[in-house]
Structure 1
Amino acid sequence: MGQNTKILLAEDEIALGQIVKESLETRDFEVLFCRNGEEAYETFLKEKPELLVLDVMMPKKDGFTLAQEVRKIDPKTPIIFLTAKSQTKDVVDGFNHGGNDYLKKPFSMEELIVRINALLGRIKLSSDVENIKIGKYTFNYPKQSLLAEGDTQLLTHREAQLLFHLSEKRNEILDRSVILKELWGDDDFFSARSMDVFITKLRKKLNKDENIQIINVRGYGYKLIC
């Protein structure tokens, strides 16, 4: 899917960054390689990349802070975090700071490329989807917003992705393992805990309509009832 798609890579480990850059370039991606968070933010403003790959621990500005600043002006461009941290809180923090995916070091280049292509593919898909009715709510997937009774709530990338999949399978069971692998890239314990957090957030954002429920079907997954 490369076709000269512009990717911003921020990584302070020069050797690793160079390996990632060269590997992506062999797949026809154009890579903007930055060595710290400040340089990455300036490059983002100037070059408008189509996807960001950010190391979490960087000098001058860490990846989470950088992502937050990006999200203030750009809610849509996909962000993948690279990090050695692997605790549940770290994973959840990554998504809460605007990340779309989270890759733990060490990682394989093939896995990174698969995740990049998956995110770029979802962006293309979402451009064809406009308003989705969910009870009293109007869900705009591309704009990542929920409108009800004149009140608009903005969703994070991950909340919007999860709600889209729930709405596609409304009144049916959304298989937990399948959606974890689709959105989180893994169905391990840490990913499952992270998904539970996002389900709780969506329930709160949909609580204006008492006829809407997201129920846990133990051992199988979740069901959006509306």
Structure 2
Amino acid sequence: MKQAKVLLLEDELQLAKIVTETLRKRDFTVTHVLNGVLGLEAIRKNDFDICIVDVMMPFMDGFTFVEEIRKTDKQLPVLFLTAKSQTEDVVKGYDSGGNDYLKKPFSLEELILRLNELLRRRATGKAPSAVALGRYTFDMNKQELWFGGQLSCKLSHRENELLTLLVQHKNEVLDRKAVLLKLWGDDSFFNTRTMDVFITRLRKHLQQDLSVEIINIRGVGYKLID
């Protein structure tokens, strides 16, 4: 089986050493750099399967690094490592192009589980083409919403993943806990609040067509009506 190539951006040398050694023992190939500037240089010279990115780094922080790579690569999975735990910080991470995050301190076993899940998602691929959603067109691959033949908005990775699930279960109740486990890894109160932020934002993105609604099924989840 092909070894997954990991780019690790982490300026805490002891933590980077532990993560690198653990991943190599699990048959990952790891390239470690200290900041986003060196990370961009590594990306230009090599092909990676996934990135592990610390948020707080000198010269170029993790958010900026991911924003830069997303200009040319929309598909490379990114897992953020962060000591930040405010909802707005996590939302910012997803907006910059991150796919998942782990709060420090974290379990190495959980890190490996998250990496394997992101790699599995990438291998299975996204749904092809675009789908109609009322008067909107939702392009899952490009992470775009179009309205009346014009680009309405570019979606963040997490907005795209959440809207994809809603579309796949259109006119059905989408269980809140199942979504939290699939996209966030657990159904904690903190992640529930974060998910609510993204639901609110999706509603705003879809507000030009009143026939498209995301309704709250109290105590259960959400339903996308078209």
**Which interval holds the TM-score relative to the shorter structure?**
over 0.9
What's the counterpart of residue 82 of structure 1?
A: 81
Residues 1-226 of structure 1: pairs in structure 2 closer than 5 A: 3-152=2-151, 153-226=153-226
Residues of 2 paired with 1:138 and 1:118: CA distance?
28
TM-score normalised according to structure 2 size = 0.93
Instruction: Spell out structure 1 runs of 4+ moving beyond 4 A.
Output: none
Aligned length in residues: 225
Query: Which 5+ residue runs of structure 2 have no aligned equivalent?
Result: none
Residues of 1 paired with 2:87 and 2:144: CA distance?
27
Counterpart secondary structure, 2:219 = coil
Question: Which shows bigger deviation, 83-92 or 7-16?
Answer: 83-92
Residues of 2 paired with 1:149 and 1:127: CA distance?
24
2:76 maps to a residue whose letter is T
TM-score normalised according to structure 1 size = 0.93
Cα shift readout 1:68-94 (whole Å, capped 9, x = no counterpart): 222222222111110112122222221
Cα offset, 1:27, TM superposition: 2.3
Residues of 2 paired with 1:50 and 1:73: CA distance?
15
Question: Which shows bigger deviation, 52-61 or 82-91?
Answer: 82-91
Identity of matched residues, %: 51
Question: Which shows bigger deviation, 116-125 or 174-183?
Answer: 116-125
2:119 maps to a residue whose letter is L
Cα offset, 1:54, TM superposition: 0.4
1:198 maps to a residue whose letter is F
Cα offset, 1:225, TM superposition: 0.5
Counterpart secondary structure, 1:138 = strand
Cα offset, 1:127, TM superposition: 4.0
Cα offset, 1:216, TM superposition: 1.1
Residues of 1 paired with 2:115 and 2:4: CA distance?
11
Tell whether the 8 Å contact from 1:126 to 1:141 is kept in structure 2 after alignment: no
Residues of 2 paired with 1:70 and 1:100: CA distance?
13
Residues of 2 paired with 1:17 and 1:3: CA distance?
23
Cα offset, 1:221, TM superposition: 1.0
Residues of 2 paired with 1:168 and 1:127: CA distance?
12
Tell whether the 8 Å contact from 1:91 to 1:190 is kept in structure 2 after alignment: no
